[in-house]
Each structure stands twice: as structure tokens, then as C-alpha cells.
Amino acid sequence: MSLDSFLALLGLAAVAAYTPGPNNALVANSGATFGLRRTLPHIFGIGFGFPVMVFLVGFFLGGLFQSSALLREALRWIGAAILLWLAWKIATSGGVSSAGQKPRPFTFLEAAGFQWINPKAWAMAIAVTAQFIHPEAPLATALMVGAVFVFMGLSSAATWALVGRSIIRMLTDERHLKQFNIAMAIIVAGCVGLLFLE
């Protein structure tokens, strides 16, 4: 990969990692609700889950998803339903949990697994695959892309969790906390609209 391509990859990874989206809204909400220490598994799940996804899509699945409109459309609708469910859980209970259980933060595996149904993650994985995975060196370029996203994913998830944790100090009453949760839920739900823009 040339230096120009690598710099373009860094820029794209930074924009993808730091801009608002489902991962960042969820991890900010977790930082605010559960604190940084309890949010660490969520941070590491994002930081390693998405790069693994990018590697696997780039090395094995990119062509399949680029060529199958049915798979892309199914992903779009499944992702929309899950994002709306997560937004509702955040807005109404302050966290993610199974029905009837006390709210809890994401585990590492839940956060890593979420990448596979996160529409923003799929859009980025396919775009990155098309731009930066070279057919003549798929393993080397997929590993390089994955490594860049490990760094960006960990740093952005930690930053958003700290933002959430810092904000919670200003949210001293239940009404303000509820407003914050609703704002994070709106960001997550707003991502559904982006799924259907061509």
C-alpha cells in the first residue's frame, strides 16, 4: 500500500470511528450509565470486533455482499429493526438488557457481535474492502486495514465512553439523565433513516 493510500485509509478510519453512529451512541450511553470501568468490555468489543469484521469481509466476503442485492437488503432491514429496538431500550430503561432484567453494559462478545448487524459497520467494511484491499495482496492489505481500525476503534470508543462519563457528572437529577438517554436513543434511531438513503 502506498503512503498516499495509507494516509487516505487513516483519514477514512478516523472519520468512520469518531463520527456519531450506533457504536458511539451506545458506548457513550454506557459510559454515562455504568462508568468507564464497566464499559471497558464494550470498548474492546468495538475496538476488536469491527477490525475482525473488516478483515473477514475484505478477505472472504466482500465480493458476495457487493454482488448480492438480496443480502444487502436483508441486512438493511434487520439492522434497522435492531437499531430501533436498541434506541427504545436506551430511551426507556437507560441500558441494554434482556426483558425483565436489570440494565447492564454490553459484554465484549455482544459489542463485537453487534458489528455484524450494525449497518454503518457494514457500509464501511464494504467501502474499505473496495478501496483498500488489493487483489494481488489480500492478506497483507486486509491485515493492515484491520490494524488501522483496531487503533481508531479503541481510541474513539474510549473517547465516547469518557464523554458519556463526563456528561453524567453534569446530569445530577433523574430528569437530565432521562433527557441524555433520549438524545442518545435519537442518534441511534436516526441512523435508521440513513440506511434507506441511497
Residue given cell 443480502 in the structure block: 71
* pLDDT grade for 195, boundaries at 50, 70 and 90: low
Total residue length of the chain: 198
Q: What is the pTM of this model?
A: 0.72
> What is the rounded average pLDDT of the residues 42-46?
96
Burial of residue 133 (number of CB atoms within 10 Å: 0-12, 13-18, 19+): buried
Answer whether residue 77 shows pLDDT above 60: yes
Which among 144, 188, 156, 136 has a CA at the least distance from the CA of 54? 144
Q: CA 22, CA 191: separation in Å to the nearest integer? A: 7
Instruction: Please answer whether residues 36 and 106 qualify as being in contact, where contact means their C-beta atoms are separated by less than 8 angstroms.
Output: no
* pLDDT grade for 98, boundaries at 50, 70 and 90: very low
> What is the rounded average pLDDT of the residues 35-42?
94
Write out the three cell numbers for 60: 472472504
* Amino acid 104: pLDDT: 86
Write out the three cell numbers for 156: 474513539
Helical packing angle, 138-170 and 36-56, nearest 10°:
160
pLDDT tens-digit profile of 145-174? 999 999 999 999 999 999 888 877 666 667
Q: CA 198, CA 32: separation in Å to the nearest integer? A: 34
* Amino acid 198: pLDDT: 47
> What is the rounded average pLDDT of the residues 47-53?
93
Stated as kind and residue range, the H or E segment containing 106 is none
For the chain, give the mean pLDDT.
Answer: 79
